[in-house]
């Protein structure tokens, strides 16, 4: 037991260390490289140098947003996979991304963006996400029992409906709108609104803290709902609160940064593989690792064909997909088949 605690501490410290390194490297590189030695003076001493402007106004918010969104998505992934006892669930399985994307698409083709300012798209995305959450919630509740299997079915169906509608919108929309829609759907951490970045960071950190109130509940739920009840967990309340928490963090991430796929699916898997299925370590570890993964992918997206920038969703998709397949193959060859974590 003591060994386990030490192992957890080491894991958290290692991940935090990696996060710090990734962030610092990410600060240095970009379309204009800033040497490491210049970063601290530029950040601390102020002044109006070009370096400071690049660092504080462009790269730092971007990295912070990367940590916040990556963390939030992975956290939502861990919570949902734990709650559903299903390794293929990710934050977007509940249709939230579809709803948010539909909201943003409609906002883009309505062309009110110029008049309503930079809040317009995130707010439309949030409205879309909230509407989806409400629909999924009410369609999955029967006789005051929140049926999580229905959540998945309803969520997947809503995703399909939304993506069909988005395709419809794209088919009839004008070329200049089309570019905006595609870029938004692929996801990007470029967010000029500093207030929104702050908001995302606060919500992400808060949800990590809040999730720790439920770590034992999640551990018990791994045994099934009735077993969790036998262990004194109020299953209905827990399911509802966890669903709301995961939805809100996902909805916010989608509204701020678009649809960044695979983070919420791959990172929790990866952490489970190394740290086991105890949510007391899994929540924090996944949050950190999600931050690392997204900041890393974003750095790649910025630099790979610089000065042109790739949508970060493309990088996470390719990189995440390859990692996922690799992990799955390794598991099936060594573990005797099946996804071990959920047996």
Partner 1 sequence: MPENHFRGRGREMLQISDLTCGYDSGFTIRDADLSVETGKILGIIGPNGSGKTTLLRVMTRALKPIKGKILLEGENIWRMSVKELSRKISVVSQSPETGFMTVEEYVLLGRIPYYERFQFLETKKDKEIALNAMTLTDSIRFKDQYIGELSGGERQLALMARALTQEPKLLLLDEPTAHLDITHQVGILDLVRRLNRNIGLTVVMVLHDLNLASEYCHRLALLNNGKVHKEGSPEDVIDYRIIEDVYKTVVVVEKNPLSSRPFVMVVSEEARKTNTGGRIIK
246, 216, 249: which is closest to 232 by C-alpha?
Answer: 216
Among 215, 246, 282, 295, binds partner 1 (CB under 8 A): 215
Span between the terminal Cα atoms of the chain, in Å:
23
**149 near partner 1, judged by CB under 8 A:** no
259, 318, 328, 316: which is closest to 290 by C-alpha?
Answer: 316
Nearer to partner 1, 141 or 306 (CB): 141
CB count in 10 Å sphere of residue 306:
14
Binding residues for partner 1, how many (CB under 8 A)?
27
**280 near partner 1, judged by CB under 8 A:** yes
**DSSP per-residue letters across 77-119:** HHHHHHHHT-TT--GGGGSHHHHHHHHHHHHHHHT-HHHH-TT
Closest distance between partner 1 and the C-beta of residue 4, in Å?
A: 9
Nearer to partner 1, 120 or 342 (CB): 342
User: Residue with structure tokens 């000065």?
Assistant: 307
Among 149, 179, 230, 330, binds partner 1 (CB under 8 A): 230
Q: In a 3-state reduction of DSSP, which class is residue 145?
A: strand
Q: Count CA atoms within 13 Å of residue 132 on its CB side.
A: 37
**232 near partner 1, judged by CB under 8 A:** yes
> How would you classify the pairing of strands 145-146 and 141-142?
antiparallel
Closest distance between partner 1 and the C-beta of residue 30, in Å?
A: 40
Closest distance between partner 1 and the C-beta of residue 227, in Å?
A: 5
Among 133, 220, 242, 292, binds partner 1 (CB under 8 A): 220
Among 161, 229, 241, 314, binds partner 1 (CB under 8 A): 229
**183 near partner 1, judged by CB under 8 A:** no
User: Residue with structure tokens 């669930």?
Assistant: 89
**139 near partner 1, judged by CB under 8 A:** no
**211 near partner 1, judged by CB under 8 A:** no
**87 near partner 1, judged by CB under 8 A:** no
Phi, psi of 106 (to 5 degrees): -65, -35
Nearer to partner 1, 145 or 304 (CB): 145
Among 54, 157, 165, 216, binds partner 1 (CB under 8 A): 216
- C-beta of residue 95 within 8 angstroms of C-beta of residue 286: no
Binding segment toward partner 1, per CB under 8 A, in 168-176, 179-187, 189-197, 223-231 = 223-231
Contact characters 302-341, partner 1, x per CB under 8 A: --------------------------------------xx
**278 near partner 1, judged by CB under 8 A:** yes
- Helices in the chain by DSSP H: which ranges? 2-28, 36-45, 50-53, 60-84, 96-110, 113-116, 120-140, 148-172, 175-186, 194-211, 215-221, 225-230, 235-257, 263-275, 279-303, 312-334
Nearer to partner 1, 101 or 341 (CB): 341
Nearer to partner 1, 136 or 218 (CB): 218
**276 near partner 1, judged by CB under 8 A:** yes
The helix (H) or strand (E) run that includes residue 223 is none
**85 near partner 1, judged by CB under 8 A:** yes
Binding segment toward partner 1, per CB under 8 A, in 150-158, 186-194, 228-236, 306-314 = 228-236
Report d(CA 62, CA 57) in Å as an integer: 9
Report d(CA 75, CA 204) in Å as an integer: 9
Q: List interacting residues with partner 1 (CB under 8 A).
A: 1, 5, 85, 212, 215-216, 219-220, 222-224, 226-227, 229-234, 276-278, 280, 340-343
């Amino acid at each position: 037991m003591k060994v386990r605690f030490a192992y957890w501490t080491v894991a958290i410290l290692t991940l935090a260390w990696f996060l710090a390194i990734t962030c610092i490297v990410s600060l240095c590189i970009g379309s204009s490289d800033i040497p490491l030695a210049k970063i601290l003076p530029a950040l601390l001493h102020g002044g109006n140098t070009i370096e400071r402007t690049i660092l504080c106004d462009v790269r730092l918010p971007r990295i912070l947003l990367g940590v916040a969104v990556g963390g939030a998505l992975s956290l939502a992934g861990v919570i949902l996979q734990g709650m559903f006892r299903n390794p293929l669930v990710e934050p977007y399985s509940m249709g939230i991304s579809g709803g948010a994307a539909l909201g943003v698409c409609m906002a883009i083709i309505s062309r009110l963006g110029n008049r309503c300012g930079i809040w317009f798209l995130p707010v439309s995305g949030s409205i879309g996400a909230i509407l989806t959450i409400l629909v999924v919630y009410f369609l999955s509740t029967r006789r005051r029992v929140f049926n999580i299997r229905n959540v998945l079915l309803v969520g997947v169906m809503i995703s399909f409906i939304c993506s069909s509608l988005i395709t419809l919108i794209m088919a009839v929309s004008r070329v200049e709108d089309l570019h905006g829609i595609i870029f938004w759907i692929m996801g990007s951490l470029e967010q000029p609104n500093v207030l929104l970045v702050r908001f995302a960071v606060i919500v992400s950190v808060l949800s990590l803290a809040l999730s720790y109130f439920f770590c034992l509940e999640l551990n018990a739920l791994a045994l099934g709902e009735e077993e969790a009840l036998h262990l004194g967990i109020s299953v209905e309340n827990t399911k509802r609160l966890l669903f709301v928490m995961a939805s809100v963090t996902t909805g916010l991430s989608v509204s701020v940064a678009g649809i960044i796929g695979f983070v919420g699916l791959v990172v929790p898997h990866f952490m489970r593989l190394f740290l086991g299925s105890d949510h007391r370590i899994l929540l924090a570890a996944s949050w950190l690792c999600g931050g690392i993964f997204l900041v890393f992918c974003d750095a790649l997206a910025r630099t790979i064909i610089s000065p042109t920038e790739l949508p970060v969703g493309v990088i996470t998709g390719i990189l995440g997909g390859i990692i996922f397949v690799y992990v799955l193959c390794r598991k099936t060859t060594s573990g005797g088949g099946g996804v071990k974590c959920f047996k």
